[in-house]
Structure 1
Amino acid sequence: MKTNFSLLFYMKKQKNYIKGLAPIYMRITVAGKRSEVTTGRECEPERWNSKTGRMAGTKEDAKSFNAYFDHLQAQVYQAHKTLTEAGEILTADCLKNSFLGKEEKTHTLLEAIKDHNKKMEALIDKEYALGTLDRFEALENHVTSFLKTKYQADDISVKKIDHAFISAFEFYLKTEKNCAHNTAIKYLKNLGKIVRICISLKWIDKDPFFGYKLKSKSVERPFLSDDELQRIANKKFSTDRLLQVRDVFLFCCFTGLAYADVKELKLSNINKGSDGEQWITINRKKTKTRSSIPLLPPAIAILAKYSDSPYCINKDRAMPVSTNQKVNEYLKEIATLCGIDKNLSSHIARHTFATTVTLQKGVPMESVSKMLGHEQIRTTQIYAKVLDMKVAADMAHLRDKYNDAI
């Protein structure tokens, strides 16, 4: 890649300069950014030609002086050629260091990812959730295997990351790792965060993601209907594990809590509101956004079942919640027993609250957004399709009235 490059020799007088010799400096400019170094030579101001960057005159001392500068210039141009042919990203500082024989420290991609993950791990439950760290550790594993497969390398300089690298990594995720489009895009966005950190640390000077499209595809968000909710609620289970997971799932359906939030829900998070009714007040674990949710009768009834649970009392928890893996595993079993042909997961409960429990019943989107703890209402608008269902039902009722009047 061609980079604008220029070289200038100039006289640099000190602020307190009065008379006598003044030092000559060499200025290297690459893409508008400068780096300077002394030449170790001095010259009388009246003999210095600023236009040519050389000492004026034809005497032997001038010829010897200028020959030294010619030699310096040739060395800088050779360093420029060497770096360019090696495919290095050219900067004024790296060109100066190459000229001086200083080896510039090269930072690598995995070095950046590992450093990021180590710092994130130290901030778990303070600024980040464990699931966020899991995703960046998965990114580290994917990048490691990608480098070995594509480049037969254990690591790569962050300066080597470009559009071709990003495109190849996206293709690798989709083909070798069988990632869906949106999953691959999430990994690329996480990689983009690592790259931006490298830019802030001045490890690289340009964003290789600039102009690269990272657009997710819209996906269907499954939710349960009133009938399916009722089937799960009415089902009799023979084992406590399924009964407990069913209750946790239904509680999330009627509160909109995510798995991470219901697992950490304490009795102290449930209090009477200004309306005299019971409310849940928490800061969402994922976004730290405050969320206030009035409890519906089904949720209150579920809480009452576990009010004297030894686990809840000893652990100061509102409900006994198994691991997310176990919850999702048992939910699949519950779906089969209830005759529901949907891939139940803990997050479907949150979708069900947003759609069947609230929006379909006429609760304003602004209120639903606040209860879900969404930072932006556009996040809630992904559920707006259910409003079309409600409008259709309402208009059908109105249409019947007009038909009866005719």
Structure 2
Amino acid sequence: MKVMKAMNTFGVQFIIRLDKLKDGKAPIYARITVNGEIIHFAVKQWIDPKCWDQRKGAGKGNKDDVKIINGGLDQIRLSLGNCYQQILLKGKLVTAGAIKDAFFGNDGEEPNTLTRLFEYHNEQANQTLTWSTLKHYYVTQRYLQKFIEAKLRKRTILLQEINYKFVIDFEHFLRSHKPVDHQKPLNNNGVMKHLIRLRKMTSLALRLDWINNDPFKNYKMKHERVDKDFLTSRELQLIEEKEFTIERLQIVKDIFVFCCYTGLAYVDVANLTESNVVNGIDGEEWIKTLRQKTTIPVNTPLLGVAKTIICKYRTHYRLTKLDRVFPLFSNQKVNSYLKEIADTCGIKKNLTFHVAPNHSDLYFTIMRLFRTFTIIDTFTPWQRLYT
């Protein structure tokens, strides 16, 4: 249903009921009028009829009790006006009864706020998205909460209040936000990721008919091209040959090298089980799995180095009760450990698990051709690429 326009005639007036006099005082009633429809309700205030101005619909005189009554009536008038505006913003039919119900909290529906939209999305997405993906929506929600509280002085906002100005103001807030903890300020693409998630939220609200207009209609995302780091063959060799006495660093180093030789992301390697290691038609071992993020099937040849690393951890004490190929660490921890590994090996690049698959694309194109002709893999991958 579309938002009701200015065609609505809305008014609030206060009257007294002389037919309900009690101890010489009359009860005060609020009269709501919308498009000719009238409804009354008692405001639980009593006044001497001699102190009532019927034309103004308010008490007259300077007595303290009259001033208190008039102050209460002003608050009721303001609250009824807010109820009227909220019904408009929700796109609901405006009636005198609906305003009264909203005033007393009896409208029976939770308002369509940004908070409610995120709660609905997260509840539904919990069935389809992994936690590693879903948690980013919680981060975006926290940034929105900070923005709304800091700039709008509210706890949440109605969805109908989200417009183009809200979007660009939120973008400016993200760009100028300075974290108080150890986190780095957001770069341009980091800002865009939060705006993409907000756009997904508003698109969901459109499909649910919770809003009528797309606030992103005239907004353009501003992505910057980022050149990803690549390791040289020498840098990978330095990592391969380095042995660590600290177990956590050795494990993460081995998993990183494994990713370089398989092209798998860390989350996919972390989920590998023995059942994912199968014999291919060439008689060699392959990894057969699904990308967690995209569920795309992956068939990857298991080369000598990668095969050695798998065998190394088959009897590891941390895997005795787990159906996994490798011991597990959180994504945050492994990237932190990789920075230690890079420093130890004298590598100045920002070493993360996103770097590892970058090395495998060309290599595995060649290797699949080699496997087709049953070439035995006796050289390291970098020797094969450059010989």
Task: Measure how far apart 1:181 and its partner are.
Answer: 0.9
CA shift at 1:99, angstroms?
A: 6.0
* Matched letter for residue 338 of structure 1: C
Note closer, same or farther for the CA distance 1:318–1:98 as it changes in structure 2 (3 Å cut).
Answer: same
- 8 Å contact 1:245–1:321 — kept in the other structure? no
1:120 matches 2:125: yes
Deviation at 1:321, TM superposition (A): 3.0
Q: Distance in 2 between matches of 1:5 and 1:147?
A: 27
Distance in 2 separating the partners of 1:176 and 1:258: 31
Alignment map for 1:229-308 (pairs within 5 Å): 229-308=236-315
Check if 1:196 corresponds to 2:193. no
What is the alpha-carbon distance in structure 1 between the residues aligned to residue 368 and residue 218 of structure 2? 40
Q: CA deviation at 1:244?
A: 1.3
What SS does the aligned partner of 2:283 have? Answer: coil
Q: What SS class does the counterpart of residue 262 from structure 2 fall into?
A: coil
Return the offset for 1:232: 0.7
- Residue 87 of structure 1 deviates from its aligned partner by 9.7
Distance 1:266 1:197 in 2: 36
Out of 109, 113, 116, which is 1:111 matched to?
116
Structure 2 CA distance for aligned equivalents of residues 184 and 362 of structure 1: 39
Q: Are the counterparts in 2 of residues 89 and 159 from structure 1 also a CA contact under 8 Å?
A: no
8 Å Cα contact 1:114/1:140 also seen in 2: no
Corresponding position of 1:149: 150
Q: Unpaired segments of 5 or more residues in structure 1?
A: 8-27, 29-70, 77-81, 365-392, 395-406
Distance apart, 1:362 and its partner CA: 8.7
Distance of 1:145 and 1:289 partners within structure 2: 37
CA distance in 2, matches of 1:327, 1:100: 59
Q: What's the counterpart of residue 19 of structure 2?
A: none
The one-letter amino acid paired with 2:292 is: K
Q: Contact between 1:257 and 1:350, CA under 8 Å: does it hold in 2?
A: yes
8 Å contact kept, 1:88–1:159: no
**C-alpha separation in 1, matches of 2:252 and 2:143:** 33
The equivalent of 2:160 in structure 1 is: 159
How has the CA–CA distance of structure 1 residues 75 and 336 changed in structure 2, closer, same or farther, with 3 Å as cutoff? Answer: same
Structure 1 residue 319 corresponds to structure 2 residue 299:
no
Q: In the aligned structure 1, how far is the partner of 2:283 from the partner of 2:36? A: 84
Change (3 A) 1:214 1:272: same
Structure 1 equivalent of residue 226 of structure 2: 219
| Residue number in structure 2 paired with 1:97 | 94
Q: Which has the larger helix fraction?
A: 1
**Cα offset, 1:327, TM superposition:** 1.4
What residue is the counterpart of 1:376 in the other structure? none
Deviations 1:327-356 (A, max 9, x none): 11221111111111111112211222236x
Given that 1:245 and 1:331 are in contact with CA atoms closer than 8 Å, whether structure 2 keeps it comes out as yes
TM-score (norm 2): 0.67
Offset from partner CA, 1:166-209 (integer Å, 9 cap, x none): 00101111111521111111111111111122112211111111
Q: Is the 8 A contact 1:270 1:281 kept in 2?
A: yes
The whole-number CA distance in structure 2 between the counterparts of 1:325 and 1:90 is: 42
- 2:198 alignment partner, SS class: helix
Q: Which residue of 1 aligns with 2:73?
A: none
Deviation at 1:5? 6.5
Residues of 2 paired with 1:130 and 1:150: CA distance? Answer: 30
Q: Name 2:348's counterpart in structure 1.
A: 341
* TM-fit CA distance, 1:159: 0.1
- Match of residue 171 from structure 2: 170
C-alpha displacement of 1:310: 3.4
8 Å Cα contact 2:261-2:306 kept in structure 1? yes
Deviations 1:254-298 (A, max 9, x none): 111111111110011010111111111111111111111111222
1:77-96 residue pairs with structure 2 within 5 A?
A: 94=92, 96=93
Distance 1:6 1:240, change over 3 A: closer
* Contact in 2 for aligned 1:245/1:330 (Cα 8 Å): yes
Contact map agreement 1:255 1:295 (CA 8 A) in 2: yes
Q: 3-state SS of the aligned residue for 1:203?
A: coil
CA gap 1:171/1:215 in 2 versus in 1, 3 angstroms: same
CA deviations on 1:88-132 (whole Å, 9 max, x unpaired) are 8679x63x42466445753111121122223333x2xxx211111
Matched ranges for 1:17-32 at <5 A = none
- How many Å separate the matches in 2 of 1:213 and 1:72? 41
Partner of 1:185: 192
Q: Percent identity?
A: 33
Partner amino acid, structure 1, of 2:94: N
Amino acid at match of 1:163: Y
Aligned length: 288
CA-CA distance at 1:227 after TM superposition: 0.9
Cα 1:5/1:328, change in 2 over 3 Å: closer
Q: Is the 8 A contact 2:290 2:298 kept in 1?
A: yes
1: distance between equivalents of 2:163 and 2:262? 45
Q: TM-score, normalised by structure 1?
A: 0.64
- Cα offset, 1:318, TM superposition: 1.3
Q: Which runs of 5+ in 2 are unaligned?
A: 9-32, 39-80, 179-184, 370-384
